[in-house]
A and B are shown apart, each in its own frame.
Chain A
Amino acid sequence: GQNIDQPTEMTATEGAIVQINCTYQTSGFNGLFWYQQHAGEAPTFLSYNVLDGLEEKGRFSSFLSRSKGYSYLLLKELQMKDSASYLCAVVDSNYQLIWGAGTKLIIKP
């Protein structure tokens, strides 16, 4: 079966750096998405990786290793507003989008 694994919950301190990992086992690969979802709100797009390597977008960076079936989202200079769930999703060979259950990130002052 197809599977996306993310930690259920993480805690970090305001101003620090946190890395949220995502490992996947899917039938093929056509890209990986990260979305942010604040409690009670809709998911919003953060990044899309299809090639190996690191893509930086402001305080957020996303890394992909297709050979390892692995991605991470790196959040720098954490702010209280970064408290949210972070969803990893992979596009498989049939262009189906497989979603992880999400990682709830708690930021403490």
Chain B
Amino acid sequence: IAGITQAPTSQILAAGRRMTLRCTQDMRHNAMYWYRQDLGLGLRLIHYSNTAGTTGKGEVPDGYSVSRANTDDFPLTLASAVPSQTSVYFCASSDSEAFNTGELFFGEGSRLTVL
């Protein structure tokens, strides 16, 4: 089934540990995004990539890094997790030629708890 796959679905992590959230899409979309969703707040963009080989910072990039070695994969890394990074993380992709004007396809989310 075509779509976006995220892993892990959920994870409990000790503060200070390194963690990589994986995201893979098979729709050949150029643009990919990482969002975090916290109760009472709108989705907040962490990092994005318009095409393979390029990445950009979103609204809340501190403490996170991404890479886009190919079209399909867009992993998000927390170098040293802190409790404020406890959240639900969504990966998304879009095939729109104009940035942020097309439908976003979301993965099922990764629920991360940092203790």
> Quick check: B90 and A91 within 8 Å, CB to CB?
no
- Place the interface of chain B in its size category: 10 to 19
Query: How many contacting A-B pairs (Cβ < 8 A)?
Result: 48
Q: Mark B19-50, 1 if CB is under 8 A from A, else 0.
A: 00000000000000000000011111100000
The interface residues of chain B lying within 8 Å CB-to-CB of A30 are 100-101
> Quick check: B40 and A43 within 8 Å, CB to CB?
no
Selected from B100, B103, B109, the residue in CB contact (under 8 A) with A45 is B103
> Quick check: B98 and A95 within 8 Å, CB to CB?
yes
**CA A101 – CA B38 in complex, angstroms?**
9
**CA A103 – CA B103 in complex, angstroms?**
20
> Quick check: B41 and A95 within 8 Å, CB to CB?
no
The interface residues of chain B lying within 8 Å CB-to-CB of A44 are 106
Q: Mark A4-44, 1 if CB is under 8 A from B, else 0.
A: 10000000000000000000000000110101000001111
Given the interface pairs A31-B101, A45-B103, the reply to whether A99 lies near B42 with Cβ below 8 Å is yes
> Quick check: A97 and B100 within 8 Å, CB to CB?
yes
Q: Which residues of B approach A to under 8 Å, CB–CB?
A: 40-45, 90, 98-101, 103-109
